[in-house]
Amino acid sequence: GQQLNQSPQSMFIQEGEDVSMNCTSSSIFNTWLWYKQDPGEGPVLLIALYKAGELTSNGRLTAQFGITRKDSFLNISASIPSDVGIYFCAGHLEYGNKLVFGAGTILRVKS
Amino acid sequence: NAGVTQTPKFQVLKTGQSMTLQCAQDMNHNSMYWYRQDPGMGLRLIYYSASEGTTDKGEVPNGYNVSRLNKREFSLRLESAAPSQTSVYFCASSEFGWGGGEQYFGPGTRLTVT
């Protein structure tokens, strides 16, 4: 079953606003990955995080690997209409051999 | 650079029919994966191949078989399709296998079983 809790499940935001979403777990992760999926397409990798405390940016996107290794955050600054889609977190457990996925955050932008 | 490609993009099957979903990657990756995506369920691993010549079951393997044909290609077969297998299927690949590494996804195959 799901070992990652991703929140919020969905959100409407005003164009230009900043967005935050996060994934939490009771388990420890070695890697955090953030993906975006557009309608009818496959997930596209946005940011990969490999070390506790790591903060990485990709344009207007910034993600952090939580220092407890049990959570990760994704921030989108100054949202635009093309940010619409589903954002997934995923992580490799400390002990385990699978990539575990969150259920996704649906982002809708009010233009 | 095509990345991960999947065929077909759409398919409709009748219950009991069989079909094979094809996947190929051109990134010289060692590991390949098949996932299914259902509303509210996220991505669930069906089967994976850590390296050429090996395959293992994932979280939801029942009703499926796989073949790692060579380093580039990994196919998923439904022997006798059931309505519960209506889903979107994604193939993915990664340079390294387990414990880390970024997975790259194909565009998906949308399968409906009536």
Q: What is the pLDDT of residue A13?
A: 87
Encode chain A (111 residues) as per-residue pLDDT tens digits: 457 899 999 999 899 999 999 999 999 999 999 999 999 999 999 999 999 999 999 999 999 999 999 999 999 999 999 999 999 999 988 776 678 899 999 999 886
Taking the Cβ of residue A98 and every Cβ of chain B, the question of whether any pair is shorter than 8 Å is answered with yes
Write down the pLDDT at residue A98: 78
Alpha carbon distances (Å) from A37 to A28, A81, B43, B108: 25, 14, 12, 11
Residue B1: per-residue pLDDT = 65
Chains A, B: CB contacts within 8 A come to: 53
- Contacts with B12 (C-beta within 8 Å, 6 or more apart), sequence order: B111, B112, B113, B114
pLDDT tens-place string over residues B40-81: 778 999 999 988 889 999 999 999 999 999 999 999 999 999
pLDDT of residue B41: 76
The pLDDT tens digits of the residues spanning B8-31 come to 999 999 999 999 999 999 999 999
Residues of B in contact with A45 (CB under 8 A): 102-104
pLDDT of res. A95: 73
- The answer to whether the Cβ–Cβ distance between A31 and B100 falls below 8 Å is yes
Distance CA A81, CA A11 (A): 13
Burial class (CB in 10 A: 0-12, 13-18, 19+), A90: buried
The confidence band for B100, taking pLDDT boundaries of 50, 70 and 90, is low
Query: What residues in chain B have their Cβ under 8 A from chain A's Cβ atoms?
Result: 4, 33, 40-45, 58-59, 90, 97-108
CB contact under 8 A, A102 and B42: yes
Query: How many C-beta neighbours within 10 Å does residue A6 have?
Result: 23
pLDDT number for residue A110 = 81
Two tokens at B40?
């509210």
Q: What is the distance in angstroms between the CA of the first residue and the CA of the last residue of chain B?
A: 36
pLDDT of B101: 78
